[in-house]
């Protein structure tokens, strides 16, 4: 193809956009060298990329020629999809970088040659880590392996071994070691619990370990020594805790030692100590010193009980090295050992403490209020007193007794709190919080208790637990993928849905509607009453609650007459329970202005009146929005919210707003319904036309995305149904909802009459 | 005569193994003496049913267990007329049988039963201690030996499946949970016959799976699962396979969780 034809094709592909002529010319120039078939498949992808990013599309055209030298045209769409994934996750730069190295980024993973990326193990290692720790630790990729005691950071990718299983194992090994540092309180060790507990604001407190390491002239050496000694101790801990893991680790290092892997992968922690004395060896060849230190380390391996032992040995070893004037050249840490980042630990700890302090004080205050213990004696922020303090008439005597049951982990301790000589029974949640605080601080600050007593005494109401007491209101935007039919894949994290309260307006709509439909409402109530849990007797059953006399007489007669008597002689009471949850999704787009909006509102009123009688659970939400980053999801009635004045006012306030981006709204409604446990879950959409948004969300794209969102809903066990007043709906709605899952109402005015009827048929 | 035959089947002859973890045995005995019904709550497989068997043995009463389900009707509990040889014959249901003969009636997983069914136990569960049998026009008064016990698992927190307060507040509630590590290891070793160290490893694995609550596993491995895994091991199945089949696959179908639990198994053993 020549450049002119290419340009022309390009313009038809991207229409109605009209990009700059010179940009297009520059981009398509390259394609001219390709043969016809390749050129066509390359251009086919333009439609996929152009709507996502124009500049990415130009970049694509510039690189596609060289990419097609590396792989067959069949793989092109897969390559484009991975590129778009990169773009959506990390932006244009990342996508450009990805496209630049076809061999390394695309082909190697395709052939299964590269290592294991974090993404692949995250799903299995996060639950693994949480199972190990029993708490909600996080797992994240980072350039350096370390843990700040809230998150474990692991490499982006592990490519050490040829076998993927080994790479995955190594990930697991790293995670386990980092967890073990937390579990053995390697970083949160303190000289003796409670030695300096008074008067300090615990949340900003320095780590004891930091001070300890900084007290050496060469903190770096001291830190590295300590970390290595802790690794030795932790290894022993893991040997006894997780023997299976350590067995595999040993066999892996035996296998790999000959293959030239770095020593930081294969060597044992104890042997690593040798490297600290490398310089000394070279100079004086004093092997006895060497031996002595190794013997110390060996003893440490088998005898160390706590992190304090490591600290002590650090001091000894440091002194030896100092005396022998060994010059320290930093030793690279073992790969699974990672590095020690005490500032990170301190930061994470203070954050955690702040949180648990707030939670603890709240929970305890609530508990005290409930128990009526607060009384009038309580005074806020009473200075803490030591254990066994005598009860003070004016203030509060607080005794906190933390009993460690298990020497190994601090998490198994029982905290007993005594306030004014009265023992307070802590509930499970408080116990959990208290042990988490103890594991961070090494002791339990009594200020926490006195502030709780203070808060309870002042009669503070407990803080609301969630963001909203009304129901499952979600805070912040909820992000959803969007289906791109041209790509046959999702646009990842493409749409934001914001849950909002509907702005209320005053109107006489409600009473007027009730008046207008007075007769119909009366009839509806009667009709719907009949639908309530129906109980009926079914006769002639093999077993049941009572004897079916007719059947019995018949059977006796039969047997007298010499016929085989029936054994169906019982009556059974059958209850058909209506276990139904339904969510109404109201299109609040601009096009509903006028009659349509009015009719929708009226039909909602009638429905509510009817549904209140039948007792089904129902929720109503409205949606509208503009562009992918803002789909507003208006709350009118949550599923289990009572039908009260406020709900009525919200219904009256439904008004036309912006556009109809159906997909994200449907996905959000699906999420809400998915949490509900019901026999039948219905999602009813009330709409007046095709899905459409301000941007390129229109036509086939919008219909396909909506269709896909509905398929997702069905997969979640939800029945979607659409009621539309669009006269041209036949053209697309059957494809979107499936031919039996919609109803089209030709006259808007009929909607209020028809809607309860439709609902009745749907649920019976 | 016939009734007694049926009843004898429910008697527990041999002492079932039960390790008391708190004052539950004493409490249940006191409840028995004072005629109070008991409610056992706790996660699945933590020993609720075993506790009832033990109590039945200790009190020397027959134990009549009814596993509740949502199709359980009042007649299933109280009794009904049946047709035998052309005649209508009244047959006692398990609850009536227990009341008549002074046995222990244990309604397992009571929340699974419909609420209107559970209401029949109300007059039995308060100080009246009587069971009206409407169809026969009979009012049964429970003898002092009769005891009512129900159990439920608060883990399945669902609005629909919760006990009505009017039902709940008639009972003395005994909370059960998985035993501490040492006790659990002893139980597993004793019930399945595996070595103490192996039992300890199994308990360690269970503790890890119980930490997965936030990761999508509502209930971790129960003591019962551990015993089952132990039994497989004792019968020549190798440790990893036994864990995989008795624990991992029994807990979840989620692929990533399966992998995670598999990693735990391979770490512990």
Least confident among A301-305, A441-445, A571-575: A441-445
Please say whether the beta carbons of B161 and B118 come within 8 A. no
Least confident among A141-150, A187-196, A422-431, A570-579: A187-196
B72 part of contact set with chain A, CB < 8 Å: no
Whether residue A396 is predicted with pLDDT greater than 70 in this model: the reply is no
The upper half-sphere exposure of residue B177, i.e. CA atoms within 13 Å in the direction of its Cβ, equals 7
pLDDT at site A724: 82
Whether residue A279 is predicted with pLDDT greater than 60 in this model: the reply is no
Whether residue A330 is predicted with pLDDT greater than 90 in this model: the reply is no
Q: Which residues of A100-111 are buried (b: 16+ CB within 10 A; e: fewer)?
A: eebeebbbeeee
Which of chain B's residues have a Cβ under 8 Å away from the Cβ of A132?
A: 208, 211, 264
pLDDT at site A496: 84
- In this complex, which of A135, A245, A559 lies closest to B266 when CB atoms are compared? A245
The upper half-sphere exposure of residue A404, i.e. CA atoms within 13 Å in the direction of its Cβ, equals 12
Whether residue A475 is predicted with pLDDT greater than 70 in this model: the reply is no
Please say whether the beta carbons of A207 and A345 come within 8 A. yes
pLDDT at site B245: 92
Cβ-defined contact of B204 to A134 (cutoff 8 Å): no
Looking at per-residue pLDDT, the higher value among A631 and A746 belongs to A631
Question: Is cis: bond before A298, omega within 30 of 0?
Answer: no
pLDDT at site A394: 41
A573 part of contact set with chain B, CB < 8 Å: yes
> Hey, of B42, B78, B83, which one would you mutate to test binding to chain A, going by the most A CBs within 10 A of its CB?
B83
Comparing alpha-carbon positions, the chain B residue that sits nearest to A551 is B83
- In this complex, which of B73, B83, B259 lies closest to A569 when CB atoms are compared? B83
CATH topology of domain B2-175: Rossmann fold (3.40.50)
Comparing alpha-carbon positions, the chain B residue that sits nearest to A138 is B215
pLDDT tier at A371, thresholds 50, 70, 90 = low
Which of chain A's residues have a Cβ under 8 Å away from the Cβ of B154?
A: none
> Hey, of B211, B221, B254, which one would you mutate to test binding to chain A, going by the most A CBs within 10 A of its CB?
B211
Whether residue A756 is predicted with pLDDT greater than 90 in this model: the reply is no
pLDDT tier at A177, thresholds 50, 70, 90 = very high
Cβ-defined contact of A131 to B211 (cutoff 8 Å): yes
pLDDT at site B97: 93
Which of chain A's residues have a Cβ under 8 Å away from the Cβ of B75?
A: 544-546
Which of chain A's residues have a Cβ under 8 Å away from the Cβ of B255?
A: 123
B159 part of contact set with chain A, CB < 8 Å: yes
pLDDT at site A477: 79
Average pLDDT over residues A121-130: 88
Average pLDDT over residues A515-543: 78
> Hey, of A122, A123, A128, which one would you mutate to test binding to chain B, going by the most B CBs within 10 A of its CB?
A128
pLDDT in tens, chain B (269 residues): 455 557 788 888 899 999 998 999 999 999 999 999 999 988 888 899 999 999 999 999 999 999 998 788 888 899 888 888 778 888 899 999 999 999 999 999 888 887 778 888 999 998 899 999 988 889 999 999 999 999 988 866 554 567 788 888 899 999 999 999 999 999 999 999 999 999 999 999 999 898 887 777 878 899 999 999 999 999 999 999 999 999 999 988 888 889 899 999 999 98
Query: How many angstroms separate the CA of residue A498 from the nearest CA in chain B?
Result: 25
3-state secondary structure chain B: CHHHHHHHCCCCCCCCCCCCCCCHHHHHHHHHHHCCCEEEECCCCCCHHHHHHHHHHHHCCCEEEEECCCCCCHHHHHEEEEEECCEEEEEECHHHHHHHHCCEEEEECHHHCCHHHHHHHHHHHCCCCEEEEHHHCEEEECCCCCEEEEEECCCCCCCCCCCCHHHHCCCEEEECCCCCHHHHHHHHHHHHCCCHHHHHHHHHHHHHHHCCHHHCCCCCCCHHHHHHHHHHHHCCCCHHHHHHHHHHHHHCCCHHHHHHHHHHHHHHC
For chain A, what percent of residues have pLDDT higher than 90? Answer: 1
Give the residue among B72, B58, B43, B265 at the shortest CA–CA distance from B154. B43
Return phi, psi of residue B16, to 5°.
Answer: -75, 150
Whether residue A145 is predicted with pLDDT greater than 50 in this model: the reply is yes
B269 part of contact set with chain A, CB < 8 Å: yes
A123 part of contact set with chain B, CB < 8 Å: yes
Query: How many angstroms separate the CA of residue B144 from the nearest CA in chain A?
Result: 29
B204 part of contact set with chain A, CB < 8 Å: yes
Reported as a single tens digit per residue, the pLDDT across A718-744 is 888 888 877 777 778 878 787 777 887
Reported as a single tens digit per residue, the pLDDT across A671-682 is 888 888 888 888
Please say whether the beta carbons of A244 and B267 come within 8 A. yes
Least confident among A103-117, A564-578, A600-614: A103-117
Give the residue among A69, A56, A68 at the shortest CA–CA distance from A23. A56
Cβ-defined contact of B263 to A172 (cutoff 8 Å): yes
For chain A, what percent of residues have pLDDT higher than 70? Answer: 82
Query: How many angstroms separate the CA of residue A123 from the nearest CA in chain B?
Result: 5
Which of chain A's residues have a Cβ under 8 Å away from the Cβ of B259?
A: 123-124
Cβ-defined contact of A123 to B74 (cutoff 8 Å): no
pLDDT at site A468: 36
- In this complex, which of B88, B209, B255 lies closest to A131 when CB atoms are compared? B209
Taking residue A456's Cβ as centre, other Cβ atoms within 10 Å add up to 26
Cα A7 to Cα A20, A27, A40, A513: the distances in Å are: 11, 9, 13, 59
Which of chain B's residues have a Cβ under 8 Å away from the Cβ of A245?
A: 266-268
A476 part of contact set with chain B, CB < 8 Å: no
pLDDT at site A179: 92
Domain boundaries, chain B: 2-175, 181-268
B135 part of contact set with chain A, CB < 8 Å: yes
A677 part of contact set with chain B, CB < 8 Å: yes
Taking only Cα atoms into account, the Rg of chain B, rounded to an integer number of angstroms, comes to 21
Sign of the alpha-carbon dihedral angle for A636, A639, A643, A645: negative
Cβ-defined contact of B212 to A130 (cutoff 8 Å): yes
Whether residue A214 is predicted with pLDDT greater than 60 in this model: the reply is yes
Comparing alpha-carbon positions, the chain B residue that sits nearest to A679 is B160
pLDDT at site B231: 94
Give the residue among B214, B88, B216, B68 at the shortest CA–CA distance from A551. B88
Q: And the tokens for A528?
A: 């719907």
Task: List, in order, residues 6 or more apart from A261 with CB less than 8 Å away.
Answer: A160
pLDDT at site A256: 64
Cα A589 to Cα A582, A596, A693, A745, B39: the distances in Å are: 22, 11, 10, 18, 54
CATH topology of domain A478-511+519-525+578-763: Rossmann fold (3.40.50)
pLDDT at site A407: 38
Looking at per-residue pLDDT, the higher value among A133 and A437 belongs to A133
Whether residue A558 is predicted with pLDDT greater than 60 in this model: the reply is yes
pLDDT at site B235: 93
What distance in Å separates the CA atoms of residue A132 and residue B209, rounded to the nearest whole number? 8
A331 part of contact set with chain B, CB < 8 Å: no
DSSP lists the bridge partners of residue B139 as B132
Report the first-to-last Cα separation within chain A, whole angstroms. 62
Cβ-defined contact of A579 to B160 (cutoff 8 Å): yes
Q: And the tokens for A508?
A: 């006489």
pLDDT at site A469: 34
pLDDT tier at A401, thresholds 50, 70, 90 = low
Cβ-defined contact of B256 to A243 (cutoff 8 Å): no
Whether residue A488 is predicted with pLDDT greater than 50 in this model: the reply is yes
pLDDT at site A398: 57
pLDDT at site B168: 86
A240 part of contact set with chain B, CB < 8 Å: no
Whether residue A707 is predicted with pLDDT greater than 80 in this model: the reply is yes
Comparing alpha-carbon positions, the chain B residue that sits nearest to A136 is B214
Whether residue A200 is predicted with pLDDT greater than 50 in this model: the reply is no
B260 part of contact set with chain A, CB < 8 Å: yes
Cβ-defined contact of A134 to B208 (cutoff 8 Å): yes
Cβ-defined contact of B268 to A132 (cutoff 8 Å): no
Query: How many angstroms separate the CA of residue A135 from the nearest CA in chain B?
Result: 7
pLDDT tier at A342, thresholds 50, 70, 90 = confident
Domain boundaries, chain A: 3-111, 216-318, 344-457, 478-511+519-525+578-763, 534-576
Cβ-defined contact of B217 to A244 (cutoff 8 Å): no
pLDDT tier at A694, thresholds 50, 70, 90 = confident
pLDDT tier at A414, thresholds 50, 70, 90 = low
């Amino acid at each position: 193809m020549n450049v002119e034809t290419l340009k022309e094709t390009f313009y038809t592909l991207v229409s109605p956009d009209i990009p700059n002529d010179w940009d297009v010319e520059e981009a398509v120039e390259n394609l001219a060298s390709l043969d016809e078939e390749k050129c066509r498949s390359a251009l086919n992808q333009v439609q996929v990329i152009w709507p996502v990013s124009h500049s990415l599309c130009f970049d694509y055209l510039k690189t596609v020629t060289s990419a097609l030298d590396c792989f067959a045209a069949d793989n092109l769409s897969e390559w484009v999809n991975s590129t778009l994934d990169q773009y959506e996750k990390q932006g244009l730069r990342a996508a450009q970088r990805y496209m630049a190295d076809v061999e390394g980024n695309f082909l190697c993973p395709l052939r299964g040659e590269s290592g294991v990326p974090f993404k692949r193990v995250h799903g299995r290692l996060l639950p693994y880590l949480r199972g190990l720790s029993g708490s909600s630790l996080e797992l994240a990729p980072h350039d350096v392996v370390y843990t700040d005691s809230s998150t474990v950071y692991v490499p982006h990718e592990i490519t050490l071994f040829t076998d993927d299983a080994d790479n995955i194992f190594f990930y697991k090994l790293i995670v386990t070691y980092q967890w073990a540092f937390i579990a053995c309180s390697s970083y949160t060790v303190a000289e003796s619990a409670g030695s300096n507990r008074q008067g300090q604001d615990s949340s900003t407190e320095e780590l004891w370990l930091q001070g300890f390491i900084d007290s050496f002239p060469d903190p770096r050496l001291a830190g590295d020594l300590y970390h290595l000694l802790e690794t030795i101790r932790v290894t022993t801990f893991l040997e006894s805790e997780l023997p299976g893991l350590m067995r595999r680790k040993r066999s892996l290092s035996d296998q790999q030692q000959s293959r030239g892997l770095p020593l930081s992968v294969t060597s044992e922690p104890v042997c690593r100590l040798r490297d600290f004395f490398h310089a000394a060896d070279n100079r004086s060849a004093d092997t006895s010193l060497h031996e002595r230190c190794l013997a110390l380390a060996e003893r440490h391996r088998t005898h160390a009980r706590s992190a304090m032992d490591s600290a002590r040995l650090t001091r000894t070893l440091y002194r030896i090295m100092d005396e022998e004037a060994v010059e320290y050249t930093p030793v690279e840490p073992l790969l699974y050992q990672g590095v020690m980042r005490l500032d990170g630990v301190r930061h994470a700890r203070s954050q955690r403490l702040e949180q648990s302090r707030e939670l603890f004080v709240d929970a305890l205050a609530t508990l005290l209020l409930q128990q009526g213990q607060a009384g009038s004696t309580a005074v806020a922020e009473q200075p803490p007193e030591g254990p066994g303090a005598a009860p003070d008439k004016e203030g509060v005597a607080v005794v906190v007794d933390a009993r460690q049951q298990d020497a190994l982990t601090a998490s198994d301790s029982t905290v007993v709190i005594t306030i004014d000589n009265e023992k307070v029974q802590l509930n499970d949640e408080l116990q959990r919080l208290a042990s988490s605080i103890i594991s961070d601080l090494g002791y339990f600050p009594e200020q926490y208790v006195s502030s709780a007593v203070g808060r309870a005494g002042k009669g503070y109401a407990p803080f609301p637990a969630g963001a909203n007491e009304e129901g499952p209101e979600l805070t912040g935007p909820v992000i959803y993928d969007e289906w791109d039919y041209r790509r046959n894949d999702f646009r990842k994290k493409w749409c934001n849905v914001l849950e909002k309260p509907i702005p209320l307006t005053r109107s006489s709509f409600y009473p007027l509607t009730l008046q207008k439909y007075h007769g119909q409402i009366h009839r509806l109530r009667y009709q719907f009453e009949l639908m309530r849990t129906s109980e009926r007797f079914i006769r002639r059953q093999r077993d049941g609650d009572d004897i079916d006399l007719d059947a019995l007489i018949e059977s006796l007669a039969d047997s007298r007459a010499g016929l085989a008597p029936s054994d169906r002689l019982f009556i059974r009471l059958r209850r058909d329970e209506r276990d139904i949850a339904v969510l109404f999704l109201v299109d609040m787009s601009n096009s509903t202005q006028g009659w349509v909006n009015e009719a929708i509102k009226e039909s909602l009123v009638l429905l509510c009146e009817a549904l209140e009688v039948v007792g089904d659970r129902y929720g109503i939400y409205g949606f509208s929005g503009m562009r992918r980053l803002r789909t507003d999801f208006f709350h009118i009635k949550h599923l289990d919210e009572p039908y009260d004045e406020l709900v009525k006012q919200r219904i009256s306030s439904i008004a036309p707003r912006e556009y109809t981006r159906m997909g994200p709204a449907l996905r959000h409604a699906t999420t809400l319904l998915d949490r509900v446990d019901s026999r039948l879950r219905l999602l009813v959409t009330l709409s007046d036309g095709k899905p459409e948004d301000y941007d390129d969300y229109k036509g086939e794209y919008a219909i396909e995305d909506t269709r896909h969102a509905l398929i997702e809903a069905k997969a979640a066990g939800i029945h979607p149904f659409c009621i539309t007043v669009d006269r041209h709906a036949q053209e697309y709605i059957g494809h979107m909802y499936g031919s039996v899952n919609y109803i089209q109402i030709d006259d808007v005015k009929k909607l209020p009459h028809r809607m309860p009827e439709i609902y009745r048929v749907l649920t019976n | 005569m016939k009734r007694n035959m049926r009843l004898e089947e429910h008697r527990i002859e041999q002492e079932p193994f039960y390790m008391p973890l708190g004052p539950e045995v004493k409490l249940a005995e006191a409840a028995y003496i004072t005629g109070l019904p008991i409610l056992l709550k706790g996660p699945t497989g933590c020993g609720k049913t075993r506790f009832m068997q033990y109590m039945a043995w200790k009190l020397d009463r027959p134990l009549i267990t009814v596993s509740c389900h949502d199709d359980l009707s009042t007649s299933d509990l109280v009794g009904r007329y049946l047709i035998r040889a052309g005649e209508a014959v009244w047959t006692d249901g398990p609850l009536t049988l227990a009341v008549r003969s002074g046995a222990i009636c244990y309604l397992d997983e009571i929340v699974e039963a419909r609420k209107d069914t559970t209401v029949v136990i109300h007059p039995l569960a308060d100080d009246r201690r009587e069971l009206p049998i409407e169809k026969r026009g009979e009012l049964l008064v429970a003898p002092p030996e009769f005891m009512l016990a129900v159990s439920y698992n608060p883990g399945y927190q669902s609005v629909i499946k919760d006990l009505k307060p009017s039902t709940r507040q008639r009972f003395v509630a005994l909370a059960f949970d998985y035993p501490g590590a040492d006790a659990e290891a002893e139980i597993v070793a004793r019930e399945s016959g595996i070595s103490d160290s192996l039992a300890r490893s199994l308990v360690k694995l269970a503790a890890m799976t119980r930490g997965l609550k936030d990761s999508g596993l509502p209930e971790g491995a129960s003591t019962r699962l551990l015993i089952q895994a132990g039994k497989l091991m004792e019968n020549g199945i190798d440790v990893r396979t036994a864990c995989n089949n008795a624990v991992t696959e029994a807990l979840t179908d989620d692929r990533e969780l399966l992998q995670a639990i598999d990693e735990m198994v391979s770490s512990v053993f």
